[in-house]
Structures are given as structure tokens and as C-alpha cells.
Amino acid sequence: MNLNTLMEPNRWQRSVKPWRKLASAPARLPQPFLSSLHLVVAILLTIKIAAVVREDTPFIVASTATFSDMFLAGVQRHGEIGLLYEIDDCVASINRTIDTYFKLPRTGLDVYDALSTPVQINVVQFSTNPRRALPDKKGQAGKLKGLDFQTWSGNITSRSDSWLDLLGIDGERKLRAFFNSLVQMEIVLVLRTLHRELDHVQAFDWEITALYDFVGRGGRIELSLSVDGSHVHQDQSWHWELLMDMLLGGLALLSESSAYLRGESLLCYLRSSRQWRSNYKWRVVTTSANVTTWAAIILEVGEFMAYSGETRGITAIFTGMACMLAWLKIIEHLEPLSPYNTLILAMRQGVPVVLVFLIGSTPLLMGFAGLGMALFSEHSDKFSSLKNSCITLFAILNGDVLLETSRDIQAAGNIGDVFLVTFVCIFVYSGLNVFISIIQDAYSSAKEQTGRLSRPSSAADVRSWEGLEGGLSRTGSGVGVTAVQLNQVEARLREQMADLQKQLAEVTALLSSGRQAFSTGGVKEHGGGYFSDGETPRHMHRQGGHVDHVGVSSSSRQKGL
């Protein structure tokens, strides 16, 4: 076993080697072209999102506010929630909601179609009427028996239909029993209106859900309105979004093909060993951006083909993720440039330390969140759940809503002020300053690294490292190497040197055991018919009590390394 054998590429390097040869061919896409390609994809995705927002957002926001004012009219409101305290008010609100829906085509300023779909009513209530608690043996109020739930659904097709008749409520007593057993009531309304987009008018469907929630049973029903809209594509004309989708799909395919031909695809990342995977970090971002772009394109084309926009929300998620990953990909092209990679290096060094510190401080934050729920959930919505409590504390940690939160929990007494002051002292004065110190140290270290090496190295030196580093970035006619890349090469050289020394020790131990076997078998090392006295064997060499190959000592081998 010689040095070349120990330095032999592993399986993943052999499998990628043909593609590396192909990538070095004249047909390889130049680096400026790839940078321009990724920048164009990011800009096009941003333009597409901005155009959709410009077309849809004003219409959707205005329509949502209109529906809220229409269907919550005459109801006492607390923010976006209506509050009902009496049976008559609740009945009047339900009747007004249904009546407003059927009058919209005649009275609404916009063009509405409310006649093609009936009003759907869904009711969830207790199977029995829990009007009064069962008394215990002492005549006092006891616990209610376990109650089961039952559901009921019905449709109203015209203004003449009454939801009370559908539920079989024909008197005050039955109405009282209905509200005693009511858990929640849902009214689903479907509307179609027209939406003007640039040079044409497009149909737009709305699903409005009015929820009368009596789960809390605190003497009031909470009325909330949920509005969800979607496009209706009535023809398969060449819409501008389809043309942009075709262009983005082609550019994403070109980007992924280039990464595959350069041996930089996601497959290479998955087949590589752990110590080499850092070379493929940007390849994962490239493939993820391309996949999310294709997913958004497929969903949007499916909407046009199916004349439906029910997947509009999912399409927006994939489009936004593709845009974010496309801009993140641009960082790869800025990383080799010393003046512009300081932030990248600072984040690379500081974020892992921050995450470790954040994990260590999470139990303390969860403790304050639980304490806040226990003390203030009855006085403020900010601590009404674990989610709200954590978000409130995180906002206080960043200097927001401190006075507002203090006013909200004043009803709890002085313990509220003690809670906030203690949290601020522990997290803001100590924890937040630790975060800032970590980032400052990382920034200083990154700035030092960017200034350590600003001149390009020779091409011969880089070619000698290229087999270990996995390919350094080439710019222009020379080879540009940053300080970060040199540190990575140095770390990998040390790791491989340790592996070589370990394997060399194993070979030495194996040869030593073989020599001992010869000695115990009655065979002399020098003489005895095998070697003459003073003769050194050709295939073995003794150096300091150790045996090595072909007359090369371990010390000389280490010097060669």
C-alpha cells in the first residue's frame, strides 16, 4: 500500500468523474452566464409576484372589507369579531345574513351572482339539552353527564325559506332549547363577481363563511367571518402568466441541466460522503429553487386547464418559495468576491452559535410563556394560548408592545409588572446582548478573513488542491481563491492527513504481527536460510523498530506528506 493507493478517490468521486470531464469541455457554461441566468430567474419571479399582487390585492382587500361590513352590520364588534348576547339578536343576525346574500345581485354596486348556489347551514349541538345541572345527594348542583355531539346540515334556496322551519323550531320554547344545546352554527355563502385585470374582465368566486361560535358558553356568541376567493379561468387563451410560466420553466430547466452536467446536481450531494457535502451546499439550493418553480408552474397551468382557482393559495406558497430560493442562489456568486462576502461569512460563523444559544435558552422562554398563560390568560388575549404567549414575549424581547402589554395585564395587579420587569432583565439585558456579541465577533472574524487574502493564487497551486477541495471557483483567466476556501482546503488536508496516519499505523501493526509470527515459528530474521547476517531484505526495511514498505520509513513518508 503506497501513498497513491491511500489517496485513491472514493466511490462517489469515481462516479462523478465522467461528468467532471464533460463539465470541463468547451461546451461548459461560463460562470458569468450562470450568474446572469440565476439573476434573470430571480428577477422574473419577483416581477410575476409583484404583477399578481398589483392586480389582485386591491380587489381582494376591498371585497373582504365590503363583505365584513355587509354581513356584520348591526352587530357589536370587538375588532374583527362580532358579539351577540341575546337570542333575539342572534336570530336577527342570521336572518339579516341570509337576506343580504339574496339581495346582493339587486342592491350591490358590483356584479354579483348569488342564485346559482344555495345557502348551506351546518349546525353542531349537544345531543341532549343541558339546561340545568343534575343535583347531587346534598341538593347542590353537580356535574353534567357526559354529552355527545350531533350535526345537522341543510340548504336554503330562496329568501322565502326559513332556517327555523328547516330546524323544526316553531315556538319560543324550542328556540330556547336550541340555543341551550347549540355549540356552533356555520352559514356558507358562495358568490361570483367580476374582477378587472389589466385589459380584460375575469370571473372571481368567493366563499364566505359566517361562524356563530358558542363553544366558550360565556353568555355570548362570537360571530366571525372567513372570506376565501379564487380566480375562474373561463378560457384557455394565452394569458401573460402562462407565457411567463413557459419562460421560467425553460430557464429553470437550463439551470438544472447545467448543474447536472457540471457534476453539481442534487444526486451528487446525496451520493457524496459527509466531509465532501459542504462543496454541494449551493447545489441543493439550486435544485430546490428549480423544483419549487416547476411545482408553481404546474399548479398554475392546472388552474387554467381546470377553469378553477381553488389552488391559488398553494400556488402562491410555491411561487414565493421559488422567488426566495432564487435570490438566495445569487449569494453563491457573491461568495468568492471578498468585498461582498463579509455578511455571508459572518452569518456562516455566527448563525450556528446563535442557534445553539437559542436552543439553550428555549426552556427559559417556555417557562415564562407558561407562567404568563397561568397568570394573565383571563385578562389579555396576548396570553390566551401558548402560541400567543410566545409571540408576545418575542415581541417584548425585540422592544415592541411592552407598554401595551403592561396596560393589558394591569387587572392582574402588581404581579404583572414584576413579570415583565423580570423577563426584560433576564432576556433583554443578558440574553439579547449575548446574541449581539456573538454576531459582532462573527462579523469581526469574517472581516479579518476577507482581508487576509486578497491576491489570487497561482493556477498550479490551485490545481494541486482541486482534487481535495472538489473544485475551486475560477474567474477570468486566472484562479481566484478566497480565505474561506483556503481554510476549507486546510481543514480537509488535516482530516485526510489524520486518515493517512491511521491507515499507516494499521499497515505497520500488520507487518509487525507478521514478523512476530515468523520469529515464533523458528525462523530468524537474518540468516537461518532466509537472510544472511547483515543482509537487509529487499521487500522490508527496519526503521526504529517499525516495518515499512519498499524501504520507505514512516518518518520519511510523513515528510513527503
3-state secondary structure 459-507: HHHHHHHHHHHCCCCEECCEECCCHHHHHHHHHHHHHHHHHHHHHHHHH
- Mark whether 176 and 302 lie in a shared domain: no
Nearest one of 207, 204, 166, 180 to 67, comparing CA atoms: 207
Helix (H, G, I), strand (E, B) or coil at 151: strand
Q: Tell me the average confidence (pLDDT) per consecutive run of 10 residues in the chain, 561 residues long.
A: 41 42 44 82 91 85 88 83 90 90 86 79 81 55 63 87 87 87 90 75 85 85 88 64 84 81 57 53 80 88 69 86 90 75 75 82 91 91 91 88 88 90 86 78 73 48 46 39 58 81 84 70 46 45 44 42 34
- Mark whether 65 and 121 lie in a shared domain: yes
- Residue recorded with cell 375562474: 232
Q: Is residue 461 part of a domain?
A: no
Q: Is residue 490 part of a domain?
A: yes
Q: Is residue 170 part of a domain?
A: yes
Element (H, E) at 95: helix 87-107
Which residue type is seen at 348? R
- Mark whether 176 and 90 lie in a shared domain: yes
Q: What is the CATH number of the domain that holds 441?
A: 1.10.287
- Mark whether 314 and 352 lie in a shared domain: no
- Mark whether 81 and 228 lie in a shared domain: yes
Q: Is residue 259 part of a domain?
A: yes
Burial of 456: CB neighbours in 10 Å, binned 0-12, 13-18, 19+:
middle
> In this predicted structure, what is the pLDDT of residue 387?
92
Nearest one of 220, 225, 158, 219 to 186, comparing CA atoms: 225
How far is it, in rounded angstroms, from Cα 299 to Cα 396? 40
How far is it, in rounded angstroms, from Cα 243 to Cα 154? 44
Residues 6+ apart with CB under 8 A from 261: 19, 22, 23, 28
Q: Which residues sit opposite 547 in a β-bridge?
A: 542
Residue 107 · residue 128 · CB < 8 Å = no
378-391 burial: b if 16+ Cβ within 10 Å, else e: ebbebbeeeebbbe
- Mark whether 195 and 267 lie in a shared domain: no
* End-to-end Cα distance, the chain: 15
Nine cell digits for residue 205: 368566486
Helices 31-71 + 240-261 axis angle, to 10: 140
How far is it, in rounded angstroms, from Cα 386 to Cα 393? 11
Write the CA distances from 209 to 67, 118, 126, 223, integer angstroms. Answer: 11, 13, 22, 10
Task: Quote the Cα angle for 91-95-100, to 5°.
Answer: 150
How far is it, in rounded angstroms, from Cα 379 to Cα 487? 56
Q: Is residue 354 part of a domain?
A: yes
Cα atoms in the Cβ-side hemisphere of radius 13 Å centred on 91: 15
- Mark whether 298 and 422 lie in a shared domain: no
> In this predicted structure, what is the pLDDT of residue 22?
37
- Our separate counts of H helices and E strands in the chain read 18, 12
Q: Is residue 197 part of a domain?
A: yes
How far is it, in rounded angstroms, from Cα 473 to Cα 274? 21
How far is it, in rounded angstroms, from Cα 442 to Cα 433? 14
- Mark whether 19 and 61 lie in a shared domain: no
> In this predicted structure, what is the pLDDT of residue 45?
92
Residue 12 · residue 276 · CB < 8 Å = yes
Cα atoms in the Cβ-side hemisphere of radius 13 Å centred on 534: 0
> In this predicted structure, what is the pLDDT of residue 378?
87
Domain boundary among 198, 232, 266: 232
Q: Is residue 140 part of a domain?
A: no
- Mark whether 66 and 192 lie in a shared domain: yes
Write the CA distances from 46 to 39, 80, 201, 319, 326, integer angstroms. Answer: 11, 32, 24, 9, 10
Q: Is residue 447 part of a domain?
A: yes
Name the DSSP class of 205. Answer: E
- Mark whether 226 and 245 lie in a shared domain: no
Element (H, E) at 419: helix 414-423
Residue 304 · residue 233 · CB < 8 Å = yes
Helix (H, G, I), strand (E, B) or coil at 241: helix
DSSP assignment string, 274-334: GGGGGGGHHHHHHHHHHHHHHHHHHHHHHHHHHT--TTHHHHHHHHHHHHHHHHHHHHHHH
State how many domains the chain has: 4
Element (H, E) at 182: strand 182-197
Domain boundary among 190, 217, 232: 232
- Mark whether 209 and 257 lie in a shared domain: no
Burial of 232: CB neighbours in 10 Å, binned 0-12, 13-18, 19+:
middle
- Mark whether 120 and 24 lie in a shared domain: no
Which residue range is the domain that position 313 belongs to?
3-36+238-331
